[in-house]
Amino acid sequence: MLNLTYLVLAVIGASLVAKAALSQVARFGGRAPRDSSPVAIAIGPASGALLDHVLASTSGPFSPELVFDEHAQEAGNVAGLPLVNSLETLGALVRLRGIRELWLLGYPMRQPSIEHYVREFRHDFVNIRLIPDLRDFALAKPAFVNVHGLPAINLVASPLTPNVEWPKRLFDCLFAAFVLLSISPLLVMIAIAVRFSSPGPILFRQMRKGVDGREFAIYKFRTMHQHVEEAGRLTQARRGDKRITRVGAFLRKSSLDELPQFFNVLKGQMSVVGPRPHAVEHDELYKDLVDDYMYRYRIKPGITGWAQINGLRGETDRVEKMAARVMFDLYYIQNWSFWLDIKIIGMTFFKGFIAKAAY
């Protein structure tokens, strides 16, 4: 365990150095303007929440200066900004104040609805940007991608692009290899204890879904007496479950039964950090009960994850428990970063091995 401590600290230290280096590159190579640029905002139908979000943001190189609403009954102000309802007035003020940014908030992506803005400023050097409101139904971080030369917005898509997939995979392989080498004596001792705890194999294999729903056999140290389940049914472990051996109870409580999954990581079936994979039978049950449940499998499942370090482990005897776990998994997917992975690994090491809900 001491070697593993040094490994985690070394990884975190290396990440801090890399983060500092990237900050210096951004500092000297970036193009952050000294002063914020004024922006005119045109709001469309039902885009009030989007406007509130923009006005509440104090960071960034832009500063809202003018709001245009063609459906407003009269001119006035909104949130301390001038509000105009005439396109001619908007054009005059944009030119008078030297505004070079026009944002169309919440406008439908139809030519008639935005053509008059393009025509009004066709002789001016004004950047016109369409900002649709996708927050309520986009699972992926809304981003423009190129599809056969055409712009497209990701609504549901894998959040990890090839540019970040290979560094994450490289880290997974190095981390898993170092961990397995460091704890190899511990693995041997656990294997011996499992072998003598009850008749049966040392390792337990169970089918789980991986990235994009591809199934694989997950490895665990066996923690139960051998038994046969009904076809298509899987009974979760419960408190006081008589199927669990005495050695198995300790392994499950301490999460040591999960250590063989580092071999799944080396095989490319799992990642060190990601949503925990559930039994296939549970996937079939919860995919129709919990919204966006299957989106968890847009990335590789992990040995540890954001939900686990926040206490969402163990039996899911209520749909609400699974829904909470999925909510944390979706947060991780939508906010993934290498630094978040390092944070989760560190929190797992210092507080995530033992869990009251694991039995």
pLDDT level of residue 141 (50, 70, 90 thresholds): low
Give the SS3 label for residue 128: strand
Residues paired with 147 in a beta bridge: 150
In a domain, 29, yes or no: no
- Note the pLDDT of residue 323: 92
pTM of the model: 0.67
Say whether both 205 and 126 belong to one domain: no
Instruction: Report the domain count for the chain.
Output: 2
- Note the pLDDT of residue 231: 57
**Is the pLDDT assigned to residue 138 strictly greater than 70?**
no
Say whether both 311 and 210 belong to one domain: yes
Say whether both 75 and 175 belong to one domain: no
Question: How far, in Å, are 143, 230, 291 from residue 137 at the CA level?
Answer: 14, 38, 11
Say whether both 99 and 168 belong to one domain: no
Residue in this structure with the two tokens 């001619």, named with its chain if needed: 88
Instruction: Compute the average pLDDT of residues 229-254.
Output: 74
Say whether both 116 and 188 belong to one domain: no
Mean pLDDT of the chain: 81
pLDDT digits (tens, 9 = 90+) for 284-342: 889 889 988 998 998 999 999 999 999 887 777 788 989 999 999 999 998 888 999 99
Say whether both 172 and 287 belong to one domain: yes
Say whether both 108 and 64 belong to one domain: yes
Of residues 53 and 177, the one with the higher pLDDT is 177
Which residues, 6 or more positions from 342, have their beta carbon under 8 angstroms from its beta carbon?
11, 12, 15
**Domain limits at 46?**
37-133
- Note the pLDDT of residue 27: 44
- Note the pLDDT of residue 344: 95
Instruction: Compute the average pLDDT of residues 264-288.
Output: 92
In a domain, 6, yes or no: no
Say whether both 96 and 240 belong to one domain: no
- Note the pLDDT of residue 30: 40
Cα 250–chain centre separation: 31
Give the SS3 label for residue 137: coil
Say whether both 178 and 315 belong to one domain: yes
Say whether both 241 and 200 belong to one domain: yes
Say whether both 194 and 317 belong to one domain: yes
In a domain, 300, yes or no: yes
Say whether both 95 and 190 belong to one domain: no
Task: Identify the CATH number of the domain in which residue 70 sits.
Answer: 3.40.50.720
Of residues 212 and 190, the one with the higher pLDDT is 190
pLDDT level of residue 224 (50, 70, 90 thresholds): confident
Judged by average pLDDT, the poorest of 66-80, 172-186, 272-286 is 66-80
In a domain, 165, yes or no: yes
In a domain, 326, yes or no: yes
- Note the pLDDT of residue 56: 82
